[in-house]
């Protein structure tokens, strides 16, 4: 059996007295497509932000390709993280956000090139070639010279996906990537994500699009109150949940189809 590409071990995250994540354990195998579902406030986005180290875990471990991130506990018992190490981790664990976070003063092409030039130190000519290749994957080569303000929300999100792909991450995280979009634009972004899944990429997707989750995922995990309450195949979790809490959550979604 292959080793997990990403392991989450007893992960906790606290903001003051509020414990948002309460001991998350999850193994991610290469090529896994994991849909993370749950009510607002259940800790889904915080989990992804801890995996990308935009938020520092309060305790627990994240292990990437067999190597624990961080270098031992400090005086207060928390793991210490070096900035250089986290920069390397973020190259390997990419993230696409709810908001597109594009630079408005840069063209689409410049937005996708920016991380390649400033973080990966790739020559501008090579960065341009890679950026155009990734824009082609999301169907936006013809928008390379446009500015974000001239694009639809769906197009901007696809640029954000191309930007993340250009960094060639081992794992790609999506934090509710369609939640800021008008309904008619959701499909184009979900189609792009599905195409990435078909390439065999390792993806974690926080989503309320449960019908899409059913067709996209190899595994579905349901978070409630900061804990991993139930996990399994899409059929096991979305069609035949074992836990009453999961069943109550799913009863609120009557407009999706499997």
Beta-ladder partners of 222 = 37, 230
Does 42 score more than 90 pLDDT?
yes
DSSP 8-state assignment for residue 101: -
Confidence band, pLDDT 50/70/90 cuts, at residue 256: low
For 143, other C-beta atoms within 10 Å of its C-beta total: 20
Dihedral pair phi/psi, residue 186, rounded to 5° = -65, -40
The residues spanned by each domain of the chain are 6-251
Does 31 score more than 80 pLDDT?
yes
Indicate yes or no: pTM above 0.85: yes
Does 255 score more than 60 pLDDT?
no
pLDDT tens-digit profile of 147-187?
999 999 999 999 999 999 999 999 999 999 998 888 888 88
Residue 100's pLDDT is 85
61 three-class SS:
strand
Residue 136's pLDDT is 94
Q: CATH classification of 6-251, choosing from 3.90.228.20, 1.10.3720.10, 3.40.50.1980, 3.40.50.300? A: 3.40.50.300
For 129, other C-beta atoms within 10 Å of its C-beta total: 13
pLDDT tens-digit profile of 53-102?
999 999 999 999 999 998 766 556 677 888 889 999 999 999 999 888 89
Q: Choose among 31, 38, 32, 14: nearest CA to 228.
A: 38
């Amino acid at each position: 059996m292959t080793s997990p590409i990403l392991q989450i071990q007893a992960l906790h995250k606290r903001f003051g007295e509020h414990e948002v994540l309460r001991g998350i354990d999850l193994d991610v195998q290469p090529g896994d497509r994991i849909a993370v579902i749950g009510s607002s406030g259940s800790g889904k986005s915080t989990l992804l932000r801890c995996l990308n180290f935009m938020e520092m875990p309060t305790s627990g471990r994240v292990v990437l390709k067999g190597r624990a991130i961080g270098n031992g506990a400090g005086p207060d018992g928390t793991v210490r993280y070096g900035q250089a190490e986290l920069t390397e981790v973020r190259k390997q664990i990419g993230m696409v956000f709810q908001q597109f976070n594009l630079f408005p003063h840069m063209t689409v092409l410049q937005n996708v090139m920016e991380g390649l030039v400033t973080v990966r130190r790739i020559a501008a000519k090579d960065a341009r070639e890679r950026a155009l290749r990734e824009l082609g994957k999301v169907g936006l080569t013809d928008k390379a010279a446009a500015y974000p303000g001239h694009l639809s929300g769906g197009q901007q999100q696809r640029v954000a996906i191309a930007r993340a792909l250009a960094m060639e991450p081992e794992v790609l995280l999506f934090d509710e990537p369609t939640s800021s979009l008008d309904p008619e634009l959701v499909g184009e972004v979900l189609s792009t994500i599905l195409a990435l899944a078909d390439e065999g990429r390792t993806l974690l997707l926080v989503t309320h699009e449960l019908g899409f989750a059913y067709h996209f995922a190899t595994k579905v995990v349901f978070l409630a109150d900061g804990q991993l309450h139930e996990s399994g195949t899409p059929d096991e979790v979305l069609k035949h949940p074992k836990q009453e809490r999961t069943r109550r959550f799913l009863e609120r979604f009557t407009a999706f189809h499997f």
